[in-house]
Amino acid sequence: MWINLIIYFATFVIAVVAYFKWSFGYWKKQGVPYLPSSIPFGTMNNPFTLSEAIADNVFRQYMESKALGYKYVGLYGLTIPQFMVIDPQLIKNVLIKDFQHFTDRGFYYNEKDDPLSAHLFSLAGQKWRRLRAKLTPTFTSAKMKTMNKFVVSCGYQLRDALAVRCAQGPIDIKDLLERYTTNVIGSCAFGIECNSFTDPSNEFCKYTKKQFLPTTFQNLKMFVSFMFPSFAEMIRMKVVTEGVTNFFMKTVRESVEIRKGTSEVRNDFLQILIELMKSERSDNNGDAITIEEVAAQAFLFFLAGFETSSSTMSFCLYELSQNQDVQQKVRDEIDAVLKKYDGEITYDALKEMEYMGCVINETLRKYPPVPVLNRKCVLDYQIPNTDVIIEKGINVVIPLIGLQRDPDYFDDPEKFDPDRFTKSNIEKVTQFSYMPFGEGNRICLGLRFGLMQTKIGLLLMLKNFKFSLSDKTQTPIQLNPICFVLSVQGGIWLNAEKISEAK
Ligand code: HEM
């Protein structure tokens, strides 16, 4: 009997190994250069040993492929083939010129069982096209101007909280800024005051933390949903936990009800989404936006705005703490522009702060909050001037973090140098080597809003406080391998010193 068991086991192992070897032959058959893969994770890192952050892994693969002279390279996530584009010209084809072959992002969503997952970022095909067209007018400059005052009011709360915290020792700057972005999104996307500085135990803070806390189970679900979307659909997987879904659905329903009962109009995202729901109903064209869709988009604005902008501001202050001359130059610009606008933080005043814009651009270059862009090939695509076909269904990866730290495109890439983005220098940047907001038809829809909240947060902090690096920050910083987003191990700790009476 033991002999039989050993034979069965050996046969099973041989079959599994043979399956992996056969799968790893895909890119060779397609005529695509590839990086060495190993059983069972392919070219991915072992997610259980947590040896390297995803961004570091992508950067390494990009540099290795570039050094080998590849314009594109085949990778494997387990046995699933992935196509990484290295050459900016081919990136342009994927994102813009031949977009019809790459319209989807390839992320899992499930409208029925997990309604909040069906937001614009994940939606595919016609559903994405329809919603993108409807939501685009939400983010015009005129709409940003009306929302500016809500963000400024949250900025003052941030300044006041910092005034209290700075006397208590080094500050975990990411934690502080997450509270600011929570307040902003609470106010603009849900129409509620979150008070996350003064009342950190409030429900909104509790559920936002819950969604972003990288538990092993949550990471496993993200991994399965990304690698095996059909399987995730089959088991009706929920990427947003039930508690979080119930809370956000309830919050949106209540806010909509409250607004029905008042004549006062609050010009925020939620109002725009409600108007969209009402106008479509009256059109009676059977294409109305439902309350679930409204909730999913408000939830996306929260997902997209919470982490990206707090991460940008944290890395920016980290760099400015080590580049005091740059920090002072931004502060001088803030003072000069605000003087012109009688101290009022208007949308136009923000636009005039060009040097601050360069500093933010340089931060987004070194630390892109979304380190890779994803597309799914939806129609076979022949790479121009080659016989290579990217087959329908293949996931395409664009390694932003690699391109933006590539010495061929950015001299001395480790150096923090905002002058790369001055009016006269920006034209020298190689096209499609710098795209922290993505590019083409699926470019970030909230770009203007993200920059507005980042600028307002930085303005109110830099105007009133001088920042320096605390010994508590472990340098050189290491990225946290358990997080999908760029997060620093041990956190970024800064000292803040008041430089004027906060006004
Ligand atoms: C510094 C802040 C931000 C950064 C760096 C950022 C970056 C990105 C990136 C890289 C993408 C993918 C683009 C692509 O695949 O080509 C994206 C998509 C998106 N972002 Fe942002 N984002 C930021 C803030 C925001 C904010 C505040 C919102 C909303 C309030 C937002 C809403 C969206 C949406 C809706 C999409 C999906 C667009 C689509 O698929 O049609 N983002 N963002």
pLDDT digit string (tens) for 368-414? 999 999 999 999 999 999 999 999 999 999 999 999 999 999 999 99
Which residue's alpha carbon is nearest to atom 11 within ligand 1?
Answer: 444
**Closest of 286, 388, 345 to residue 503, by C-alpha:** 345
- Is 80 exceeded by the pLDDT of residue 500? no
Check if 314 has its Cβ closer than 6 Å to any atom of ligand 1. no
For the chain, the average pLDDT equals 90
Check if 485 has its Cβ closer than 6 Å to any atom of ligand 1. no
Q: Looking at residue 222, what is its pLDDT?
A: 77
Tell which one of 437, 449, 485 to mutate to probe ligand 1, the residue whose CB is within 8 A of the most ligand atoms.
Answer: 437
29-38, 61-70, 177-186, 289-298, range with the lowest pLDDT: 289-298
- Is 60 exceeded by the pLDDT of residue 185? yes
User: What percentage of the chain exceeds 90 in pLDDT?
Assistant: 57
- Is 70 exceeded by the pLDDT of residue 275? yes
Q: Tokens representing 97?
A: 């010129």
Confidence class of residue 289 from pLDDT cuts 50, 70 and 90? confident
The dihedral region occupied by 15, where left means phi > 0, alpha psi between -120 and 50, and beta the remainder, is alpha
- Is 70 exceeded by the pLDDT of residue 287? no
Confidence class of residue 502 from pLDDT cuts 50, 70 and 90? very low
Mean pLDDT value of segment 461-478: 94
Tell which one of 91, 444, 452 to mutate to probe ligand 1, the residue whose CB is within 8 A of the most ligand atoms.
Answer: 444
Q: Looking at residue 376, what is its pLDDT?
A: 96
Q: Tokens representing 162?
A: 């910092």
Q: Tokens representing 85?
A: 């584009």
Mean pLDDT value of segment 195-217: 76
User: What percentage of the chain exceeds 70 in pLDDT?
Assistant: 96
CA-185 nearest atom, ligand 1: 30
Check if 247 has its Cβ closer than 6 Å to any atom of ligand 1. no
Task: Name the binding residues for heme.
Answer: 444
HSE-up (13 A, CA, CB side) for residue 218: 14
Which residue's alpha carbon is nearest to atom 37 within ligand 1?
Answer: 121
- CB crowding 191-213: b at 16 or more within 10 Å, else e: bbebbbbeeeebebbebbeebbe
Q: Looking at residue 25, what is its pLDDT?
A: 93
Assess: ipTM above 0.90. Answer: yes
Task: Tell me if the pTM is above 0.90.
Answer: yes
